[in-house]
Amino acid sequence: MTAVESDSGVLAGEERMLIDGELVHAAGGAFFDVEHPASEQVAGRVTDGTVADMERAVGAARRAFDNTDWSRDVEFRYHCLMQLHAALDRNKERLRRILITEVGCPVTVSGSQIESPIEEVKHWAEHGRAFDYLQDNGVHETQLGPARRKLSYEAIGVVGAITPWNVPFYLNIAETVPALMAGNTVVLKPAQLTPWSGSEYGRIVAEETDIPAGVFNVVTSNANEVGAALSADPRVDMITFTGSTATGRAILAAGAPTVKKTLLELGGKSAHIVLDDADFSSALPLAAMMACVMSGQSCILPSRILLPRSRYDEGLQILAASMAAFPVGDPWTPGNMQGPQISATQRQKVLGLIQSGIDSGARLLTGGGVPENLTTGYYTQATLLADVDPDSQVAQEEIFGPVLTVTPYDSDEDAIAIANNSIYGLSGEVSSADPERALRVAQRMRTGNVSINAKSHFGISSPFGGTKQSGLGYRNGEQGYMEYLDIKTIGMPA
Ligand code: ADP
């Protein structure tokens, strides 16, 4: 019996979506399947929302914003979000099973995708309660004499949240909870491959919190048009999106006619500059682990390793050995750290990019195909490509698989130039025995975030955003809350 079957009582339901406070089936009555990528079996199904359902959800969110006190009653929002925090915590094992079933995320590494976002709900509730929504901006001289200016921070309105499949529960929370706490109403459109993480969130809101009807809605759908309808709807004031750069461009274009505020966290192709004084024995096994641990399905993964030519072979040997030994297998089995790719299509894309690298002259040092003992499930071998041409497709396109490319460099300047040779600028890494030298290199990288010696740049209290074609705006930190607020400047008698 597979783990999915053993959990079928929990998972094989016909999940509904949340519109205007009701858990409902789609207008057309259709469903679509949810597949477990580790078994290639259908695990259950979910209601298949239509454009008409999305229009109803947006209407409900609009009414809840315009006609209720949600945007003005910070104490009530705090109460509701603390309830949500407790409710998610009560349901966390169910949420974990959903995550493993939909994504194939190994149970061993699921904490950062379940426990951490649940804690973030509490963080945003407390942050939003303590926030000063009416700030004194001091006295200013004007043509009509002095004016005392006040800054009123106010919710933007209806926020459409569109999320991807790689870390679905975390991103559902990260995109919606600060928006709600800031006083907005929300329509969440989860990704096709991971609808249950969204529908279960909707069920918990409906059944276990006092969040009023229409304030939070979830529309699951198998059609991209439903996300497109959300991003084009004139009743929506803001879109927050995480996903591919191509879809981000489409969302920006769809929002242009109504000048929608758009927060985008898009693709990445981050470089890891390993300086010649770095401790290879700690930096490189960690780099290999980062590449494998979510099956490479992470936008911030530093997937382009740049090694000094003087220590090139030494670095390649450590990377290849670490990748070949990485524990891959059934995500339900404790100890496995790498599960399958999420779908047959995704694995095909990863294998195709590996082949394109080999075709363009890269040397395959380990991996390159499907693990021999894991032919059921969309598993991919951890793969190391050396001598990668920085202009080649495999060095330029986001792979979203357990693949590292390695390119040698001759000087720090050379390494910085190769790192910056990308349309993306999401994250990066520098390894060095000298933190000041590493910092100087990090400051030259055209990217939104950098880790030095694996010290993570990512966390709830620090802003996270991309440069170049990796995004617009910030999540996390003070900026990540302010993104969901407009500032009204008021001139008053001094
Ligand atoms: P992927 O190609 O890996 O599935 P996407 O960036 O296309 O990643 O998908 C991320 C999210 O964007 C999903 O929820 C998907 O349904 C949604 N989406 C896809 N196309 C559009 C679109 N044109 N407008 C709005 N949302 C979209």
Answer yes or no: is 21 within a domain.
yes
Answer yes or no: is 40 within a domain.
yes
For all residues of the chain together, what is the average pLDDT?
Answer: 96
Give CA–CA dist 446/427, Å, rounded: 9
Nearest CA to ligand 1 atom 20: 224
% of the chain at pLDDT higher than 90: 97
Q: What is the pLDDT of residue 9?
A: 38
Give CA–CA dist 184/214, Å, rounded: 11
pLDDT bracket for residue 129 (50, 70, 90): very high
Helix (H, G, I), strand (E, B) or coil at 11: helix
Same domain, 356 and 289: yes
Q: Count of alpha carbons within 13 Å of 160, Cβ hemisphere only?
A: 30
Taking residues 233-249, report their average pLDDT. 98
Determine the residue of 172, 194, 247 to mutate for testing ligand 1's pocket, defined as the one with the most ligand atoms within 8 A of the Cβ atom: 247
Is the beta carbon of 299 within 6 A of some atom in ligand 1? no
pLDDT bracket for residue 4 (50, 70, 90): very low
CATH number at residue 207: 3.40.605.10
Residue 14 pLDDT greater than 90, yes or no = no
DSSP conformation letters of 104-160: ---GGGTHHHHHHHHHHHHHHHHHHHH--SEEEEEEEEETTEEEEEEEEEEE-SEEE
Taking residues 158-182, report their average pLDDT. 98
Is the beta carbon of 228 within 6 A of some atom in ligand 1? yes
Q: What is the pLDDT of residue 28?
A: 87
Is the beta carbon of 466 within 6 A of some atom in ligand 1? no
Is the beta carbon of 229 within 6 A of some atom in ligand 1? no
Distance 380 CA to ligand 1 centre (A): 24
pLDDT, one tens digit per residue, over 367-416 is 999 999 999 999 999 999 999 999 999 999 999 999 999 999 999 999 99
Q: What is the pLDDT of residue 13?
A: 64
Answer yes or no: is 127 within a domain.
yes
Determine the residue of 196, 224, 345, 353 to mutate for testing ligand 1's pocket, defined as the one with the most ligand atoms within 8 A of the Cβ atom: 224
**Residue 425: Cβ-neighbour burial (10 angstroms; 0-12, 13-18, 19+):** buried
Token look-up 């607020």 returns 485
Same domain, 256 and 285: no
Same domain, 354 and 436: yes
Sheet strands (E) in 293-414: 302-308, 363-366, 383-386, 403-409
Same domain, 254 and 160: yes
Distance 250 CA to ligand 1 centre (A): 9
pLDDT, one tens digit per residue, over 289-343 is 999 999 999 999 999 999 999 999 999 999 999 999 999 999 999 999 999 999 9
Examine the residue annotation and report whether 265 is marked as an active-site residue of this protein.
yes
Is the beta carbon of 386 within 6 A of some atom in ligand 1? no
Examine the residue annotation and report whether 299 is marked as an active-site residue of this protein.
yes
Answer yes or no: is 6 within a domain.
no
Answer yes or no: is 167 within a domain.
yes
Give CA–CA dist 29/47, Å, rounded: 7
Nearest CA to ligand 1 atom 21: 224
Taking residues 26-53, report their average pLDDT. 95
Q: How many residues does the chain have?
A: 494
Give CA–CA dist 432/430, Å, rounded: 7
Same domain, 295 and 211: no
DSSP conformation letters of 162-198: E--SSSHHHHHHHHHHHHHHTT-EEEEE--TT-HHHH
Is the beta carbon of 342 within 6 A of some atom in ligand 1? no
Give, in degrees to the nearest 5, the angle at Cα 400 between 457 and 197: 80
pLDDT bracket for residue 11 (50, 70, 90): low
Residue 7 pLDDT greater than 80, yes or no = no
Is the beta carbon of 343 within 6 A of some atom in ligand 1? no
Taking residues 155-183, report their average pLDDT. 98
Is the beta carbon of 224 within 6 A of some atom in ligand 1? yes
Question: Looking at the 3D structure of the chain, how many domains does it have?
Answer: 2
Please tell me what DSSP assigns to residue 211: P
Taking residues 155-180, report their average pLDDT. 98
CATH number at residue 283: 3.40.309.10
Same domain, 244 and 285: no
Q: Which residues contact 80 (CB under 8 A, 6 or more apart)?
A: 180, 209, 210, 211
Structural domain boundaries, residue 192: 14-266+471-493
- Pairing state between β 485-493 and 451-452: unpaired
Is the beta carbon of 160 within 6 A of some atom in ligand 1? no
Helix (H, G, I), strand (E, B) or coil at 314: helix
Distance 425 CA to ligand 1 centre (A): 20
Same domain, 81 and 33: yes
Same domain, 341 and 201: no
**Catalytic one of 80, 105, 292, 299:** 299
Answer yes or no: is 69 within a domain.
yes
pLDDT, one tens digit per residue, over 470-493 is 999 999 999 999 999 999 999 999
Same domain, 340 and 481: no
What is this structure's pTM?
A: 0.96
Answer yes or no: is 4 within a domain.
no
Taking residues 83-101, report their average pLDDT. 97
Same domain, 208 and 308: no
Answer yes or no: is 5 within a domain.
no
Q: Which residues contact 443 (CB under 8 A, 6 or more apart)?
A: none
Atom of ligand 1 nearest to the CA of 242: 10
